[in-house]
């Protein structure tokens, strides 16, 4: 089997598919790309058993066939080539792969393609079309809040609630929670699924270079994202997501509004002087002034700054993990942010003070830290 393909085009597809390949897989075949030629179309597939990515591109081929090729060596070799046609020659019986360029030839050992895991067939029970930029934003604004606890796998993914008057993307690690809602993602069925973190990270990176509608199909076990020449299939996380609505305080009479960028930059400075175990910062709101302070008694470090703000409510003092606050502020786009609070021992709720897009709504919740007075 022989085929000819441009080196730059092939490298782009390999880098897209390679995002799912793990370098420390227990199965050697999972360190390979699967190359399959059918009617002049090359399909490149990578998998880690949980997530599978396929990309297609037209090539000049003399026959159909397939082979598994080591991903790292092939990708590293292609990075060194200027854009030029490459001729791949595969000996089907020995799975040997020879690549001929304008200046020479290299040979790599291929592997038996029958050992490569088969792509799962998904009989979708629900389907929705999502604009690529919308999906990218939804992933970006929620995935940082997912957990890493192996004992609670449902919290290591993003909850996707579809149907009704809105669709929600929700992530939490029990210390912080994000709910990103879209009013322009519609579906006839109401369903909830939990999507693992890894395929979402891979998808987020791929979507940066695409501007196309994404077809999302899923059932109770698997989800498929397809757009242009890319197909991403992943297993879903099995389990019941926590009732996140129950932890969102409904009555929050104290409302603090502050410039987001100024608040974020101040937190970055002040948090340098906080305890490196708790990252605790103290917010003291008094009238139109917000005092932000931190201290590390073990090393006699402390810092305090004051920002102008708009505040409705009684004077208040509350502690938060500065890392969580900075993550949330970094994932908001508004010029000003409002923190809704009720008491020093109850969660604070961050929302943008102004809406840039009428089709979206975002709410971020952060649990407080008990202050030592």
Confirm whether 46 is domain-assigned.
yes
Number of structural domains (the chain) is 3
Are 229 and 328 contained in the same domain? no
Are 274 and 239 contained in the same domain? no
Among residues 115, 148, 164, the one where a domain terminates is 115
Are 157 and 232 contained in the same domain? yes
Are 154 and 196 contained in the same domain? yes
pLDDT in tens, the chain (373 residues): 899 999 999 999 999 999 999 877 788 999 999 999 999 999 999 999 999 999 999 999 989 999 999 999 999 999 999 999 999 999 878 888 999 999 999 998 899 999 999 887 888 888 899 999 999 999 999 999 999 988 899 999 999 999 878 899 999 999 999 999 999 987 777 899 999 999 999 999 999 888 889 999 999 899 999 999 999 999 999 999 999 999 999 999 999 999 999 999 999 999 999 999 999 999 999 989 999 999 998 899 999 999 999 999 999 999 999 999 999 999 999 999 999 999 999 999 999 999 878 899 999 999 999 987 6
Are 159 and 101 contained in the same domain? no
Is-contact 132 213, C-beta < 8 A? yes
Confirm whether 120 is domain-assigned.
no
Confirm whether 292 is domain-assigned.
yes
Confirm whether 312 is domain-assigned.
yes
pLDDT of residue 25: 76
What secondary structure does DSSP assign to 324-339, as a single string? HHHHHHHT---SEEEE
Confirm whether 52 is domain-assigned.
yes
What residues make up the domain containing 194? 126-245
Are 255 and 235 contained in the same domain? no
Confirm whether 121 is domain-assigned.
no
CA distance 171 to 228: 28
The C-alpha R_g of the chain, in whole angstroms, comes to 25
Are 148 and 109 contained in the same domain? no
Model pTM? Answer: 0.92
Among residues 80, 115, 150, the one where a domain terminates is 115
Confirm whether 373 is domain-assigned.
no
Are 197 and 182 contained in the same domain? yes
The gap from C-alpha 306 to its chain's centroid, in whole angstroms, comes to 34
Vertex 50 angle, CA 46 and 55, to 5°: 30
Are 195 and 212 contained in the same domain? yes
Report which secondary-structure segment, H or E, holds 15: helix 7-17
Is-contact 234 244, C-beta < 8 A? no
């Amino acid at each position: 089997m022989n085929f000819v393909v441009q080196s730059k085009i092939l490298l782009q597809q390999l880098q897209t598919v390679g995002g799912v390949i793990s370098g420390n897989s227990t199965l050697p075949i999972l360190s390979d790309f699967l190359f399959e030629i059918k009617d002049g179309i090359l399909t490149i597939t990578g998998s880690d058993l949980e997530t599978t990515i396929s990309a297609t591109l037209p090539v000049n081929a003399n026959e159909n066939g397939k082979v598994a090729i080591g991903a790292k060596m092939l990708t590293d070799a292609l990075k060194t080539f200027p854009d030029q046609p490459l001729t791949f020659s595969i000996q089907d019986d020995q799975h040997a792969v020879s690549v001929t360029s304008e200046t020479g030839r290299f040979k790599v050992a291929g592997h038996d393609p029958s050992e490569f895991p088969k792509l799962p067939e998904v009989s979708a029970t629900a389907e929705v079309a999502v604009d690529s930029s919308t999906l990218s934003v939804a992933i970006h604004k929620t995935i940082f809040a997912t957990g890493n606890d192996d004992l609670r796998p449902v919290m290591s993914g993003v909850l996707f609630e579809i149907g009704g008057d809105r669709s929600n993307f929700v992530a939490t690690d029990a210390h912080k929670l994000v709910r990103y809602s879209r009013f322009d993602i519609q579906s006839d069925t109401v369903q909830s699924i939990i999507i693992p973190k890894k395929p979402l990270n891979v998808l987020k990176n791929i979507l940066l270079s695409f501007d196309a509608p994404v077809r999302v199909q899923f059932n109770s076990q698997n989800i498929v994202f397809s757009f242009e020449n890319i197909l991403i299939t992943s297993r879903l996380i099995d389990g019941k997501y926590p009732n996140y609505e129950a932890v969102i305080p409904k009555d929050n009479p104290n409302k603090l509004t502050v410039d987001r960028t100024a608040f974020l930059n101040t937190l970055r400075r002040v948090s340098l002087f906080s305890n490196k175990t708790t990252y605790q910062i103290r917010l003291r709101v008094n009238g139109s002034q917000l005092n932000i302070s931190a201290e590390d008694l073990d090393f006699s470090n402390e810092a305090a700054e004051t920002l102008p703000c708009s505040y409705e409510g009684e004077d208040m003092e509350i502690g938060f993990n500065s890392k969580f606050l900075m993550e949330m502020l970094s994932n908001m786009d508004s010029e000003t942010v409002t923190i809704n609070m009720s008491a020093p021992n109850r969660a604070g709720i961050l929302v943008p003070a102004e809406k840039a897009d009428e089709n979206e709504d975002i709410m971020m919740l952060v649990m407080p830290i008990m202050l030592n007075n």
